[in-house]
Structure 1
Amino acid sequence: MYDEREIIIDPEFQRLFRWDVGQKSKLIESLLLGIPLPSIFVFETEDGSWELIDGLQRVSTILEFMGRLRGPDGEINPPSVLEATKYLPSLHNAVWETSELIDVPMQEQRPIDKTQQLAIRRGRLGVEILKRPSDDQTKYDLFQRLNAGGTQANAQELRNCIMLMISKDYFRAVKNSAEQDAFKRVVSISEEQSERQRHMEMAVRFLVHTQVPYDGRLDVEEYIDEGIVTLAQAGNHATAADLINRTFQLLDEVAGNNALRRFQNGAYVGKVGLVGLEAIAVGVARNLPAILALGPTPSKTFVKEKIESFWEQQQVAAFSSSGLRGTTRIQRTVPFGEEWFRP
């Protein structure tokens, strides 16, 4: 089905969900030992083909090992090579068949025998077929519920996939903006946090808080989930990118990696937290045209002074109090920031 394009695996999903060699080896080990694999979930599209929703790594690992997995350009990816496992140490440097494309010298590659190939080909994989719902929202909800229990995917990685499902252009625009130097400096993202998509999470939270009203009814994570679906469906990717780029360029010019940090006793202290994002970044964004209208130098002076005096306000101290629920905090930080940064 995959060779005939009858089952669809979005290549960009493969970049977001990436198993290491140990996980891949254990999957192939399970097939060789006859251990049943969990079912995969697919949506049946209008033309009868299947769109893979849950089971991406299981399916792509098998296809990659066999040398059948295609990349975004349609070209076949280099086949994978396995490592020894607890029950099958013989899988060290195991390959489906030797290949110059594999990053292990050919003389060190150990092709599995025909019996093992047949065991993999005949391995059982249950398929749950979900008829395409009339409401795409159902599709996104099901995707999150099916994937939320996995150890490899965090909440933002799932949101990334949902944005891809809805609008590749929107996802790419947000991703490109979140990877700009100015944005990363202001939100102070480490390499490890970046790998876990923390920069994308901050960009998505910023966009949702700036553009989608919050009434406090939904849990914060559900509000962010629904908000980014709404924005991606609207598809205004140029507007999203422009909002992120201009806001964080201004904040970067004003205070760099101190822009969202607490200002106390004449110095910036602590880490960047959600209070700074929700009140300062969103507050500036919601007033951006009026702020920029002050002029190049006055706008920077205004923002810098407002950031420093922001942390002296009595209400702001309460935003970080222990026990304050996120649902309550957002209903305070965002409106306060919008008012505070109004010229």
Structure 2
Amino acid sequence: MSNINNLTDQQLEHETTVEEQIKKNQKDFDFDIREYPIEFLMTKFNAKDNENSEIYIPDYQRDFIWTDKQQSLFIESLLIGLPIPYIFVADIDRSERIESDGRLEVVDGSQRLRTIYRYCVDELKLVNLERLKALESKRFSDLPLSRQRRFLRTSIRMIELTQIDEEGRRTMFDRLNTGGTLLTDMEKRRGTQDSPFLDLVEEMSRNDLFNKLVPLSAAKKNHKDDQELILRFLTYSNNYENFQSQVRSFLNDFIEENKDISDEDKEKHRLDFVTMLNFVENNFKYGFRKSEKAKSVPRVRYEAISSGVILAIKANPKISNQKDIDTSWVLSDEFNDKVTADGANSRPKVKERIEYVKNKILDQIK
């Protein structure tokens, strides 16, 4: 803390300037924290009649851009009781717009409000759910009546701002919607789940040979991209034939199935992982990379090589210690097309690229 008696004139001038700028830009407003049941909110918000709704969406808000999947996962969160962020609204005073006196302008949360509205009026069919599979392709009216009632009693938390002008509302909207970094799927898993299986994944990510063959920046490691790759190796190499179309759900289901993994299965996964890495080091000129100068490894390429290698070894265990097998095909346009083409995450493509690697390796063994 500065001692004002020891400040130079220049320092005093700087502190004065700082204070003036802060006071000039400070927004003088009050707020209340409120909770409203969804049923009550639906009497105040009508997405089809925004002009006359008591709760309305201003023109500076973005259009309704959430996909049906995003909307469905949000509704799923409400149904299972996960906490959701506050919705910010501002009480509009007659001094600003007499026709809006007493209305509530949505500052942040328009996508959530519009999703709730769509679901409650039966416009939204739930898709790609992660937990409530029984509600896949179902609408609100398909819920049991008792669950409809409970959903409509679900409370939504709101921060109601008062005495805040339009400039302040726009500034708040901008700050609430910029500057954040979205969590990766692996960060979300580690943040919401804890299991011996995920602990195993984290342990395997510290393998020195893996870190040598799969160069990742410090930023990517901070976002747990290394653990994501290992999870994909374990999932695809053990279950690729059951892949459907959604990578995220496919990986999450495998985690759930293995959350109580036995010590015996842990050791099996460790052995497969090390065996695969040793084979790649001994036989692939650039490891998982596309070229000597490549500084990263695309996920799909890694999945295909790592899974195909261990499947080939399981099909013919005697090749695990072989060296200098011809793997020049991994640099071919044919292979590159298989790991970069459109639809790379369709079921046929996943199966094709993994088995391509497996069969190319087995073909080298006489």
TM-score (norm: length of structure 2): 0.46
Say which one has the larger Rg. 2
TM-score (norm: length of structure 1): 0.48
